[in-house]
Chains A and B, each alone.
Chain A
Amino acid sequence: MSLDQMLFGAYALPFMSRALVAMLALALVAGLIGVLVNLRGLEFISDGLTHAVFPGLAIGFVAGGEPGLVIGATVAAVIAAVVLTLVSRAGVASDSAIAIVLTGAFSIGVLVVSGGSDFAGQLETLLFGRLLTIDAETIPLLLTVCALALALAWGTRSRQLFRAFDPVGSEAAGVKPLATDLVLNVSIALVVVAASSTVGSLLVLAVLIVPGAVARLVTTSLLALFPIAAAFAALASWLGLSIGFGVSVGAGVDLPGGSTVVAVFVAGYALVLVGRLLVDRARGRAIRGAGAGAPQRSVADAGGVVA
């Protein structure tokens, strides 16, 4: 198979173009919501939401069949977003509380589907998705929900940024912390719902976490973060889909589409990270010193670890 056919020709096939459309929509999400997740440090909450949606999917499917999936997932996601927002504002050991909420919800989901006949298949579909077998009918739904989530985040963008950089100052200036957090968490939850029934929760988590982190490595300019994250996500999705197609068709090894795209995301991150380290080393300020004045986001005494 020629490179040209792998990179461009493949998308003449309807299932490949559908996957690309879905991924490009998620790239826009990565460009806005992913960057906000990174700036606000909401990676663990995003992970929690992807797990918490599972019981909604399972109960929705048991109660209402295929159409029940999205309804159940939406209900579960909104409940989980509210609970996680309240829990993380309570402040007391919030990371343990998030872990307990997410595994508790996930366990309920597993118990519900474990009664069904194809338990393993359903679990794997939820985790790793079916990027290459998205129905034509679910594409408009995915696009609508992504647009809604983007509108929510875009409408509150200045408040979100203010709160990310100066939580106390923003509160004093009249930004309502609970409402602001709730809007962002609900928009993350909507994206998770839209994506988890199509591309799988692993891929949506990668979309929310990796491009924002790449953008932070590339630039220190706030406004540049958003287009860089979106462009990285779009490029990595395209490459990932092409590689998956090329290997599956050309070499006859059946690669799962979603996992291949995630692997390309993470490989891209590794490349950018190495590049950043080399550039920094050349400038003689490679790695921050041992914990001294470490900013809050560098977290947990990581400075002391290798010091």
Chain B
Amino acid sequence: MAELIRVEGAAKRFANGVEVFVHLDLTVIEGECLCIVGPSGCGKTTLLRAIDGVLPLDAGRITIGGEEVRGPRRDVAMVFQGFGLFPWKTVEQNIAYGLEMAGAPRSLIRERVARQVELVGLRGFERALPYQLSGGMRQRVGLARALAVEPDVLLMDEPFGSLDALTREVLQDELLRIWQVRPVTTVFITHSIEEAIALGDRVVVLGPRPARVRTVLEVGIPRPRSVASVIAHPSFVQLRDRCWSVLRDLEAA
């Protein structure tokens, strides 16, 4: 399997001098979903923003397909923690946003938006404004907007973190289903070990600040998956315990 994203010796510190990560190495294989878990404030979001090209590194480099990331790229799309929907745009217009920024022709935008609406299950809500939608529906729009540009890399920053447990599981299943229909290399950040195992092909555990990669776990549960099938899988408990023990040791240290 070819590696698509490579993070080499990445370092970032905040303006106040706090080191977020000092020497971080990471690779993402083409077609996989890499989940990143770690204690809160360990720099998961910072790392993802750096991969997205919106935040320059202080040292080290990130390459996507061998090309160094120097700024935002059209083949990388982000799903935001707070949804990041434009309150003045309808569902359709929000989904079309990335395509419009890329200067796509009208006909293509219409066709892609219609397909995404169908894919994420938003039919009938095309003309709704975000305030009229529930949290789960809003993040469906956020996901559709990212997928509409047909990115090579999908970045997801705790996308279901603010949703209630039930909606969360529904959306995790939706995401697993969508990957089957439209596979895309994904980097998924979460603070939930269960979510990381359910969605990821590999799980990276980061340590506290300054963050380093502590463990990389191969999940090895075959797809197609559902959250229920993952939890019922014999290796699930063992994987979860291994993640936990790494995180617990980090706490103790």
Query: A and B: real partners?
Result: no
